[in-house]
Chains A and B, each alone.
Chain A
């Protein structure tokens, strides 16, 4: 091998790559890492599908509950507005006066409908529903007052309307049946928080599962990491393929969770529309749609990256050439 000083200088300066080349190489290594990680994930189809399923199930559970909640809200939304005011009339008001009042109320603009429940009909209904027919039959006189059921028009404050009616001389008591609406709303709020809490716990679970999977991947490639570090691989260089592995596991898990939710909805759609038709309701289940599915996949990818980052930052630094 012949030597001259010019050659030596060239050898030394050429050992540094140019910046543009380095950027291209950096991008190249990204695509290389992505492809290599994907190949490694697909090379073990059974364990990869199991990982995807675990993540998919953990993500599908809160997603499905959230969708159930959205649907419940859609159903209950139609019940929200027509709060009903019950007007119990004074005992001395007779049925003719009561229907007179019903007609008067029916003409008001702030009322959608007013229905009269005469005291005899109310007693008959009570006797039938309560099972106390004998007791009721033994009564000398009907203790119930006439009842007017009033539905406020949309946009009218039912509480204020109740005040107005309570002041009417014929009305003994005006009761606003809001309690059940409030209870329902409270239950909905409680369920929403439960779903959120469950979702939070399961998301944490997904991150930990992925972190553990990546930790095992790191362990199985320990020798390779040592060699790469010995020949000058930076931490970012070593980290990259594992982050992509996490990404692929997460994206696959998100895809599986979307599939599971779709399958569950498909499974429930028939019975739900049958039930709705029994109630003369046009209600149909709201699905997750394309956007929802993509969001699940995106979320899965982010969780995968987070889990991989967790594992990599904990375990990669510990692997140093010895």
Chain B
């Protein structure tokens, strides 16, 4: 589903964020991406999201070489990928419902369909009762679950998460991971960047480890 072929990313100031990374993530896989901060986890996710382009090498998503996607094609590419951020990236002047509905509004769904899907997504993350709440009134864990609902509401085939449990206590982190596992079980390819080794090593999934932009484990 996601393939990296000898991908390097060097930033303008000369810093090598990724060096010769080759890896493959199969459909239906749930993979953790780990390494200390600055090891290149975020850069790897950014390349998949087309927030950045590789300096060398090839990235394929769902069989498509991302180099063939021009700047006009980026929005459509991103609509096929759900993303969860460490800092949630919610719109604080809109309700939980409107936040979750955003990808569907962008994709151009009928408003009845939007209502149905948003409620389904909120139900999955256990926040159906809070659909009219404003994000500020929610706890950190709840805000993160809103972010997850927004990421999955468009039923993407790929779900990316960048430190989704970064600010949460262990119990909430485990809950969030359980949610990701549940989405993976219905066929979503999940890639989670996390440095919470204690948590992810308990979960029995493949772990890709980066160090200074190089792959040190889990490439197969």
Contact = CB atoms under 8 A, between A and B. Distances in A.
Interface string B132-154: 00000000000000000010001
A12 interface: yes
Contacts of A3: 185-187
Contacts of A15: 80, 154-157
B187 A17 contact: no
B108 A320 contact: no
B155 A24 contact: no
B161 to A, nearest CB: 13
Contact of B89 (A8, A14, A21, A227): A227
B75 A234 contact: yes
A28 B91 contact: no
Contacts of A12: 155, 157
A226 B157 CA distance: 22
Interface size class of B (residues with CB under 8 A): 20 to 34
A321 interface: yes
A37 to B, nearest CB: 14
A321 B77 CA distance: 15
B220 interface: no
Contact of B186 (A7, A22, A230): A7
Contact of B182 (A1, A14, A17, A226): A1
A232 B103 contact: yes
B199 interface: no
A229 B75 CA distance: 7
A192 interface: no
A126 interface: no
Nearest to A320: B51
A228 interface: yes
Given A227-B89, A231-B79, A321-B51, A25 B185 contact: no
Nearest to B106: A233
A231 B103 contact: yes
A322 B157 CA distance: 23
Interface size class of A (residues with CB under 8 A): 20 to 34
A230 B106 contact: no
A11 interface: yes
Interface in A282-322: 320-322
B187 A11 contact: yes
Given A11-B155, A224-B91, A231 B106 contact: yes
Given A7-B186, A229-B75, A17 B106 contact: no
Nearest to B92: A223
B91 A230 contact: no
Contacts of B111: 28
Contact of B110 (A7, A24, A232): A24
A14 B104 CA distance: 12
Contacts of A232: 75-80, 103, 106-107
Nearest to A29: B105
Interface in A213-238: 223-224, 226-235, 237
A26 interface: yes
Contact of A231 (B102, B109, B110): B102
A227 B103 CA distance: 10
Which among B83, B91, B107, B185 has the greatest number of chain A C-beta atoms within 10 A?
B107
Contacts of A224: 91, 93
Contact of A227 (B91, B186, B187): B91
Contacts of A14: 155
B155 to A, nearest CB: 5
Interface string B66-107: 000000000111111001000001110100000000110111
Contact of A25 (B83, B91, B110, B182): B110
Nearest to B183: A1
A26 B109 CA distance: 9
Interface string B102-136: 11011111110100000000000000000000000
Which among A12, A231, A233, A320 has the greatest number of chain B C-beta atoms within 10 A?
A231
A211 B79 CA distance: 30
A299 B113 CA distance: 39
A11 B154 CA distance: 9
B109 A25 contact: yes
Nearest to B154: A15
B107 to A, nearest CB: 6
Given A11-B186, A232-B75, 10 more contacts: A3-B186, A8-B187, A15-B155, A17-B113, A224-B93, A232-B77, A232-B78, A234-B75, A235-B75, A322-B51
Top 5 A-B residue pairs of the complex, sorted by shortest distance between their CB atoms: A232-B79, A25-B108, A232-B78, A22-B108, A8-B187
20 contacts: A3-B185, A7-B186, A8-B186, A15-B80, A15-B154, A15-B155, A25-B105, A32-B105, A224-B91, A226-B89, A227-B89, A228-B106, A230-B78, A231-B102, A231-B106, A231-B150, A232-B78, A232-B107, A233-B75, A235-B75
